[in-house]
Amino acid sequence: MTPEQFVAGLPKAELHMHIEGSIEPDLFLRLARRNGVAVRWQTEEELRAAYRFTDLQDFLDLYYDGCRVLVKSQDFHDVTREYLRRAHADYVLHAELFLGPQGHTTRGIPLAAVMEGVLGAMADAHAEDAVTSGLIVLAQRHRSEEEALAMLDALQPWYGQLLGFGLGGAEVGNPPAKFAEFFRRCRELGFKVVAHAGEEGPAAYVRDSVELLEVDRVDHGNACVDDPSLVAELAGRRIPLTMCPLSNLKLQVIPAVDAHPLKRLLDAGLCVTVNSDDPSYFGGYVNDNYVACQQALGLDHEDLARLARNSFEAAFMPEAQRVDAIARIDDWLTRSGARAGERE
Ligand code: ADE
Ligand code: ZN
């Protein structure tokens, strides 16, 4: 069995992906046409050629500009439904999606159009493919904490349909402390909280996310490797990292996948997970990320299964569903022959 086949049959959860980062070039051009939005590119090839980035800000400039093709509720529905269909094909049983409403409401798009489109597609994916999903709303960290708090208030009608809140966007210069009150309010309301940290920023941003913002998971977290006591704390408390190797490669966080700290952190006992971040921009969905790690970091079947188990351990999902999903991983290890001696 090839690594691709083993990964394809491995049940998994995806916990770090941005809906706005999953618009494939063909859908992007269709939406631009449908909404009469002028864009710089005429063909899918031209679009793909533009997906070369020097760093996070260089990517974010294109990503925010690309959001202009999302106008109507149906557009938000279409992009979400397409991602969940693609995730289902990668044997994702459960997905937690990031959405950044400020990138839309500041363009004059009604919050209700955004929320209803996304939530409707999540319900459809559950009905049609039995994929479960949850929504995590991100505040843009280059904006003020007051704006994040205003967004939190505006989302009140949808509180019952949200898993939690997080922080995304330009990291360096926008430290976790800037959003301490926003996170306190989110936790007080009973939401799960996550934050992008240690992608381009230092280990101190990861530590502050954990100790000051009291996050349930860290998104990326790469820089924690620079602080051994932080690594020990993350391992001891099993605070998950949602890592995104191909994203890190495309945004030049790492020079090559073999330099990624994922395997070192997995071996140090951290709850490391593998995710796609912005799959259409970074040239790979979740399975592509697993396979890239397998090849570059020499992961064996047990490592890959541990990453999948971690994804369910880290998921904000009901306990019974978690237990069932993890049992399906063990079943695959046996059926695939990866666990020698356990075959029928
Ligand atoms: N928003 C979308 N992708 C992101 C990333 N990789 N880092 C921070 N914010 C993001
Ligand atoms: Zn991200």
Per-residue pLDDT tens digits for 279-309 = 999 989 999 999 999 999 999 999 999 999 9
Q: Is 168 a domain residue? A: yes
Q: Is residue 342 part of a domain?
A: no
* Token reading at 216: 């349930």
Give the catalytic positions in this structure: 199
User: What residues in the chain have per-residue pLDDT under 70?
Assistant: 340-344
Considering only CA atoms, which of 336, 340, 343, 342 is closest in space to residue 91? 336
CATH number of the domain at 217, please.
3.20.20.140
Asked, for residue 341, whether it belongs to a domain, the answer is: no
What is the helix, strand, coil percentage profile of the chain, to 5?
A: 55, 15, 30
Mutate to test the pocket of ligand 1, among 18, 98, 209, 243 (most ligand atoms within 8 A of CB): 18
Q: What are the angstrom distances between the C-alpha of 161 and each of 135, 193, 217?
A: 8, 15, 20
Instruction: Please report whether residue 196 resides in a domain.
Output: yes
> Residue 172 domain-assigned?
yes
Q: Could you tell me the two tokens for 158?
A: 């949808």
Q: Which ligand is nearest to the CA of 141?
A: 1
* Listed residue (252, 270, 266, 260) closest to 297, CA to CA: 260
Inter-CA distances, 295 with 16, 271, 317, Å: 21, 20, 30
Q: How many domains does the chain have?
A: 1
Tokens of 164: 């939690």
Say if 344 falls within a structural domain: no
Domain that holds residue 43: 3-335
- Say which ligand is closest to the CA of 282: 1
Q: What are phi and psi of 24, to 5 degrees?
A: -70, 150
Q: Cα dist. 333→296, 306, 314, 341 in Å? A: 22, 11, 20, 11
- Determine the distance separating the centroid of ligand 1 and the alpha carbon of 332, expressed in angstroms: 32
Residue pLDDT, tens place only, 53-111: 999 999 999 999 999 999 999 999 999 999 999 999 999 999 999 999 999 999 999 99
Residues contacting ligand 1 via CB (< 6 Å): 18, 21, 56, 63, 168-169, 196, 199, 247, 277-278
Residue 313 included in any domain: yes
Query: Domain for residue 60, yes or no?
Result: yes
Chain position carrying tokens 């992906």: 17
